[in-house]
Structure 1
Amino acid sequence: MSDPPVRGVDVGPDTRCGHYHTDRDVVAFKFACCETYFPCYRCHEEIVDHDAVPWPRARFDEPSVLCGVCRSEFPVPAYLEADYCCPSCDAAFNPGCAAHADLYFETEE
């Protein structure tokens, strides 16, 4: 099985992009509008011609987060419970992504 594609601006092998490229920027999020992984919301804005639709709470049991290091996919709750590291390989994720969480998945109102 091949790795899911990640679209974006200057996306590297670990899913870093032209917007976010620190050692911890190794996570990609699937958007419900296009069922496609992007490293960040800014990549989605630049690459596609439609509005972003965050991953819906009703689908939180489906894989929608991708680790750029080990390429594991997991659902939003596993990402949220993992304390900014990959639940599969323990790679560190950027805690700054929390500032944009509502752009990636439906958050509680």
Structure 2
Amino acid sequence: MPARTPEERSLVARIASAERWGRTPDRTAATAPARAGLRAKFAREVDPDGTLDPAEVDRRVDQLHRAHMLRMTLKAKAARRQARELTAQAEAAETELEAAGGPDAA
């Protein structure tokens, strides 16, 4: 089987995701272990010795979780901006090529 292009790999991943979530009756329950694991990781970071009050640990974990989500939002925005810029550059190059009587010019 020939190697797949990045676009094909992305499409295969999207198909797998749609299959997985299409067969999952309770998405919240399916992702609960991941959320619990992330909270546990944050709890270990804020209270490695287990000496803080549980309410304080929860407060700090909530803040770390918020920071994590905001960091992901920032990265997603940067990726979308870069994709827009690359698309604009490609379109400009294509327009220039056509104006200059590009390879398809007769």
Instruction: Select the structure that is richer in strand.
Output: 1
TM-score bracket, normalised by the shorter chain, equals: under 0.3
Instruction: Select the structure that is richer in helix.
Output: 2
Q: Which structure is larger by alpha-carbon Rg, 1 or 2?
A: 2
- TM-score, scaled to structure 1: 0.21
- TM-score, scaled to structure 2: 0.21
